[in-house]
Chains A and B, each alone.
Chain A
Amino acid sequence: MLHIVNKSPLQCSSLESCLRLATKGSAVLLIEDAIYGATKGSRIEAVIQGAMAHVKVYALSADLQARGMANRVLDGVTVVDYGGFVDLVAEHSNCQSWL
């Protein structure tokens, strides 16, 4: 499954719930304000690093760039553009948005 998260994890628990309910091998795509979860130095960095042992984490380039965070992406997070977003949706048999 592709899990799409859009809210900042420092503000909202949707990423936390997503990670609790994503099966091993799932993909988690961070878009909009959720991209802050993919950046270095936040208090949840360890949570994301831990999650990456079980799920593949992606972040949307347009949202990183818009927020000035493109050069602070955590190692292990794959940055994708909208084309990559589309590919992720196509490649996974189902998807779920965590609002």
Chain B
Amino acid sequence: MSDEMDMEEGGVVKKFMFVNRKAPYGTIYALEGLEVVLISAAFEQDVSLAFVDDGVYELVKGQDTKELGQKNFSPTYRALEGYDIEKLYVEKESLDARGLTEDDLLVDVQVMTAAEMAAAMAEQDVVISF
């Protein structure tokens, strides 16, 4: 834990983007990706999350994992706001390709076109892909 205590990185604030392109439950990347995002909150960096391709499925409402027997971690996306992580960018083309709209999502997001998402990605200091 002492590693996490030393969070004074000399006041350096970088733009961190966490890119989510995989659906939940079929693989662990969405869940473990979210764990990194939560930890990043403690470092007071400029954090954003990008949801592209099947990553948009991570945010779909109404996930019920009782019969599956896996932990339903989707409520955690709603908790991000409490950690001051509010920049959730969702690519419009990815939603459209999956027959989804903003209304299908369980949390407030900023829907961006591919061009807007590309521009947002290009200006990041650190991009971590899961």
Contact = CB atoms under 8 A, between A and B. Distances in A.
Contacts of A26: 122
A22 interface: yes
B129 A97 contact: yes
Contact of A99 (B21, B119, B121, B125): B21
A23 B115 CA distance: 8
Contacts of B52: 17, 21
B126 interface: yes
Interface in B83-130: 91, 93, 114, 117-119, 121-122, 124-127, 129-130
Given A13-B53, A96-B19, A22 B127 contact: no
A98 B125 CA distance: 16
> Binding site of B, secondary structure by majority: helix, strand, loop or mixed?
mixed
Contacts of A14: 21
Contacts of A22: 118
A11 interface: no
Interface residues of B, number: 18
Nearest to A26: B122
A98 B118 contact: no
Given A13-B53, A17-B52, A96 B93 contact: no
A96 B52 CA distance: 13
- Which 5 pairs across A and B sit closest by C-beta, in order of nearness? A96-B127, A21-B118, A23-B122, A97-B129, A23-B118
Interface of B: 19, 21, 52-53, 91, 93, 114, 117-119, 121-122, 124-127, 129-130
Given A21-B114, A95-B127, 15 more contacts: A20-B114, A21-B118, A21-B121, A22-B118, A23-B119, A23-B121, A23-B122, A94-B124, A94-B126, A94-B127, A96-B19, A96-B127, A97-B129, A98-B21, A99-B130
5 contacts: A1-B121, A14-B21, A21-B121, A23-B119, A97-B127
